[in-house]
Amino acid sequence: MKYTKLGKSNLTVSRICLGTMHFGGSTSEEEAFRIMDRALELGINFFDTANVYGNRGGSEMIIGRWFQHRPGSRDQVVLATKVYGLMGDPNKPNEERGISTYKVRKHAADSLRRLQTDHIDLYQVHHYDRRITPEEFWGTFERLIDAGDVLYMGSSNYPGWGLVKFQMHATQRGSLGLVSEQTMYNLLCRIPELEVFPAARDMGIGIIPYMPMAGGLLTGKTQAVEGSRTHSVENEYGIQLGDQNKQLAEFSTLCRELGEKEHIVAIAWTLAHPAVTSPIVGIRKLEHLEGIERAVELTFDAKTLERLNDIFNLNRGRPLRAAEAPEAYAW
C-alpha cells in the first residue's frame, strides 16, 4: 500500500479508502468484520462511513463493535464519518436535512457513541447546506475541534464556489478549514474536473472520490441483475450495459490489452489525477477486496491516458473543450 497526506493537513492516509456504506445493509456484521480485518492487512488505514449508512446508524455501530472486538484497531484507523442527513422524525423541527449548531452537537455525540470512540478523525458535512452562514458553520465545528471530539473537517458534494467560500472564511478565522472534499468521480462522471478539482487544489483540499467504479458499471459486467446496485446506477447514469454499449466495450478492450481488470484500471485512473488523495472503494463482500492494491501500483503512460480520455471524453457531443473552467467554455 502507498500513503499520502490528506489535503494541506499532515495526516497520513492510505491511497485506497475503505467505504462502509453497505455495512448493516447488504453486508452482514460478520462479513463486515472480515472486510475490515483484511483491509488492515492490506495496509488500508482510511475508513469512511456516515451516520445515515446502514439504516441510520448501522454502519457506525458495526465499526464500533469491531473496534471493541479487535483491541488496538482504533489507533490503526483514520476514521471518517459524516453529518447532514435525516436521522430522526422529519416532521420535527431541527431534524430536517442540513446542519445547524443545535443538530450537529447531538449528531456528533450520537456518532461517537455508536462508533465507541472518543474522537472522529475526519468529520465531513455530507452535502451543501445553502442556508447556514459561515459564522455558524465554523463556530459549530470549531467547538467540536476545540473539545477534541473532531480532529479535521471535510466536505462532501460541495461545488467549487462553496469550497472557496468556506475555506476563505476559515482562513479569516485563523483555522485550518477543510482538508478534504468527497465527490463522485469516475471515468463516466468527470464534471468535478471543471470547477471542483481546481478549487480544491488551490485551497489545499484533498479529493476523496466516491464511486470510482461507477457503482459497478466499470467492472466489466455485461448485464446488471434486476434490483442490484449496478442496475440502479444504470438508471442514474442513463447508461445500459450490454453489447450495444460501444463505450464500455472499448474500455474492456483496452483493459485486456493492458492485461488488467476493468475495476483496477478504473480506480487507478482516478488516482492518476493530481487532485485525488484516496478513492473510496465501497466493499460489500470480502472477495471484492482481493487484488485491490494493484490499483495503487498501476500507472499509465501518456498514450494510455489519451485513449482513456478519448473513450470517456467529458465533452463528447457537447460544445465544450476538454479543459478546466473557464477555458472549457470561454475563449
pLDDT tens per residue, range 238-252:
888 888 889 999 999
| DSSP single-letter state for residue 260 | -
pLDDT for res 90: 81
Averaged pLDDT of the chain: 93
Percent of the chain with pLDDT over 70: 97
Long-range contacts of 116-120 (CB under 8 A, 24+ apart): 116/64, 116/65, 116/67, 116/68, 117/64, 117/67, 117/74, 117/79, 118/148, 118/149, 119/148, 119/149, 119/150, 119/151, 120/79, 120/80, 120/81, 120/149, 120/150, 120/151
Q: Give the domain CATH number at 71.
A: 3.20.20.100
Classified as helix, coil or strand, 291 is: coil
pLDDT for res 103: 96
Query: 130 is written with which cell numbers?
Result: 445553502
Domain membership of residue 77 (yes or no) is yes
- Residue found by looking up cell 482562513 in the block: 171
pLDDT digit string (tens) for 170-226? 999 999 999 999 999 999 999 999 999 999 999 999 999 999 999 999 998 877 777
Rounded CA-CA distance 331/317 in Å is 19
Question: Is 95 a residue whose pLDDT tops 80?
Answer: yes
What is the average per-residue pLDDT within 110-131? 98
What is the average per-residue pLDDT within 2-29? 97
Q: 232 or 37: whose pLDDT is higher?
A: 37
> Which sign does the torsion angle of CA 5, 178, 208, 186 carry?
negative
pLDDT for res 315: 64
Which residue, among 144, 135, 89, has the nearest Cα to 112 in the 3D structure? 144
Domain membership of residue 317 (yes or no) is no
pLDDT digit string (tens) for 253-309? 999 999 999 999 999 999 999 999 999 999 999 999 999 999 999 999 999 999 999
- Residues 128, 162: contact at Cβ < 8 Å? yes
What is the average per-residue pLDDT within 219-236? 79
Other CB atoms within 10 A of residue 287 CB: 10
CA 194 to mean position of chain CA atoms:
18
What domain count does the chain have? 1
pLDDT for res 321: 61
Query: Of the residues 3, 53, 152, 329, which is catalytic?
Result: 53
Domain membership of residue 147 (yes or no) is yes
Domain membership of residue 206 (yes or no) is yes
What is the average per-residue pLDDT within 120-131? 97
pLDDT for res 316: 58
Domain membership of residue 10 (yes or no) is yes
Query: 150 is written with which cell numbers?
Result: 473532531
* Reported confidence tier of residue 147, pLDDT bands at 50, 70, 90: very high
pLDDT for res 266: 98
| DSSP single-letter state for residue 225 | P
Question: Is 320 a residue whose pLDDT tops 60?
Answer: no
Rounded CA-CA distance 16/41 in Å is 13
Classified as helix, coil or strand, 190 is: coil
Domain membership of residue 124 (yes or no) is yes
Domain membership of residue 228 (yes or no) is no
* Reported confidence tier of residue 98, pLDDT bands at 50, 70, 90: very high
Question: Is 227 a residue whose pLDDT tops 80?
Answer: no
Rounded CA-CA distance 271/195 in Å is 18
- For residue 42, give its domain range: 3-219+269-299
Query: 89 is written with which cell numbers?
Result: 422524525
Domain membership of residue 240 (yes or no) is no
What is the average per-residue pLDDT within 137-163? 98
Quick check: is 53 catalytic?
yes
